[in-house]
Amino acid sequence: MRTKQMAVNSWSLNRMIWAIVVLILGIGSCKNDSLSSIPEGVPFDPSQPVIVSDFVPKSGGMGQRLVIYGKNFGNDPKNVAVFIGGKKAVVINALGESLYCLVPKQAFKGDIEVRVGGEEKPVIGKAQAPFDYQRKLVVSTLAGYRNSRGDEPWKDGKFKDNDQNKMASGFWEPSFMKFDPLNPKHLWMTFDNNGGLYLVNFEDSTITTRRAGLERPRSVDFTLDGNYMIIAQDRGGEDDKSTLLLSRAKRFLDSETLTQSKQCNGASVHPVNGEMYFNSYAKGEFYRFDLNKYFSEGLKPKEYTNPFLIQDPEWEYKILVHPTGNYAYIVIINRGYIMRADYNWEKKVFNQPYLVCGKVSETGYRDGVGSSARVDHPYQGVFVKNQKYVEAGKPDLYDFYFTDMMNHTIRILTPEGAVTTFAGRGSSSLNNNPYGYVNGDLREEARFDRPSGIAYDEKEGAFYIGDQANRRIRKIALEEMDENNQD
């Protein structure tokens, strides 16, 4: 029985491969003698029914290559329309008893219908069984737009609206994103060279400026209890306000100076012990500020310690701490590499960092492991639990998804130091630009233009991306069941 089943599967596979080869080549016009024995498709006969007898494969998602078998399809693909789940597919070729097409997006119902003979009075054939449509992760647009003049204002408003004047816009500076730990429907954003603190509110689908007057805000984080927000500011003076403390009790409209230092690119709170780590651009200082002591006893704005210096002074970097607190990634933005600092639980401080991916001062684009990988302006990252690691019982359960700004991609860094491309740089058939504004399949279609901020909603399984040069906030998630939410 098993041998017989294997033979059947092999026959089906060979049949599919042969049909695809024939259909792609468009045999009807081929003059090659070596292919002359392959029969041309019989023209469509409007007096005969269109029959759909089979299709392969039986399941797949958007963009899946699909071969449909039957009778009376004709030999003119322009005379054939295929609908899958009520969505029109792209027909590549027709050869009498077989069709080659691409599965359209959001073909959720899966019913297959072939219409031959034109739009007015087509002859219709239907498959008896539906195609098993599987939702895929895709890139879509949450909010924002870019007009032909490129002069969209920074404006509060709705995610989407028929009236563009009511839509939120702007978003054209490097961003940083952080979900509110006490309200998962609130996503907070700051933008470099923009003085506002913005709330992306999924409760009412609006984006609003919650406060103004900040000076080059570079990051957002929260204390362990979620009652305070911490904002890093990139200011030039030695004693400038490098980090600010905002209270939830006052709706984050107040501000208190936490620390004073020069040109802070980011500040992060240790997820277990609660101390704050922040940097100073000028000399590459990596600082530790004891938040617990600040709240219990009080600390002055310059009462922080300097565990180490990174090897590249006068270059921007951000500190992103692993959910367990066991280590932090130090993302060196301008120099094209990422370092790791392991946490010393006994001393409650991070150790001197070491390189985990990229090469110091050598940017580029290459997937690889460790120093063989190349990145270009990595900006922000988020840790995402990998269920396969859980099932395998691995010690580290998280991958690190980060925006690779000048490569116009979202990359993945594994605990072993392997870098792969998650989304972006698609649509190479349109042009050779790695950047652009295209929604759709993560790698085949989607394009970004200098993505910077990134946040992850674990419950929804969705990423949100600040797509700087496209002046939009993008979303990566399973296809929406309501196509109106796809832009």
Q: What distance in Å separates the CA atoms of residue 45 and residue 96, rounded to the nearest whole number?
A: 10
What pLDDT score does 1 carry? 44
Distances (CA, A) of 85 to 111, 112, 113, 135, 139: 5, 7, 8, 13, 21
Is residue 113 within 8 Å of 126, Cβ to Cβ?
yes
Q: Work out the widest C-alpha separation in the chain, in whole angstroms.
A: 91
What pLDDT score does 482 carry? 60
Instruction: Break the chain into its structural domains and give their ranges.
Output: 2-133, 137-485
- pLDDT score of 16 more than 80: no
Which stretches of 245-382 are DSSP H helices?
291-296
3-state DSSP call for residue 482? coil
Selecting from 2.60.40.10, 3.50.50.60, 3.40.50.300, 2.30.110.10, what CATH number does the domain 2-133 have? 2.60.40.10
Q: Encoding tokens for residue 403?
A: 């925006």
Q: Encoding tokens for residue 372?
A: 């063989």
Q: Encoding tokens for residue 213?
A: 């007057």
Task: Look up tokens 């310059």; give the residue.
Answer: 302
List the Cα angle 266/272/274 in 5-degree steps.
50
- pLDDT score of 2 more than 80: no
pLDDT in tens, 173-209: 999 999 999 999 999 999 999 999 999 999 999 999 9
Q: Give the DSSP letter string of 109-178.
A: S--EEEEES-SSS-EEEE-SS--EE---EEEEEEEE---TTS----B-EES--SSGGGB-B---S-EEEE
Instruction: Tell me the residue type at 195.
Output: G
pLDDT in tens, 422-467: 999 998 777 889 999 999 999 999 999 999 999 999 999 999 999 9
State the first-to-last Cα distance of the chain, in angstroms, to the nearest integer.
49
Q: What is the mean pLDDT of residues 241-255?
A: 96
Distances (CA, A) of 177 to 68, 379, 403: 46, 11, 12
Q: What distance in Å separates the CA atoms of residue 67 and residue 22, rounded to the nearest whole number?
A: 11
pLDDT in tens, 293-325: 999 999 999 999 999 999 888 889 999 999 999
Q: Encoding tokens for residue 282?
A: 């000028």
- pLDDT score of 37 more than 50: no
Nearest to 108, CA basis, from 84, 89, 127, 126:
84
pLDDT band at residue 40 under the 50/70/90 scheme: low
Q: Which residues contact 9 (CB under 8 A, 6 or more apart)?
A: none
Is residue 219 within 8 Å of 233, Cβ to Cβ?
no
Q: Which residues contact 368 (CB under 8 A, 6 or more apart)?
A: 374, 418, 419
Question: For 137-485, which CATH superfamily applies?
Answer: TolB, C-terminal domain (2.120.10.30)
DSSP class of residue 21 equals: H
Which stretches of 2-130 are DSSP H helices?
2-25
pTM to 2 decimal places: 0.86
User: Residue 140 class from Cβ within 10 Å (0-12 exposed, 13-18 middle, 19+ buried)?
Assistant: middle
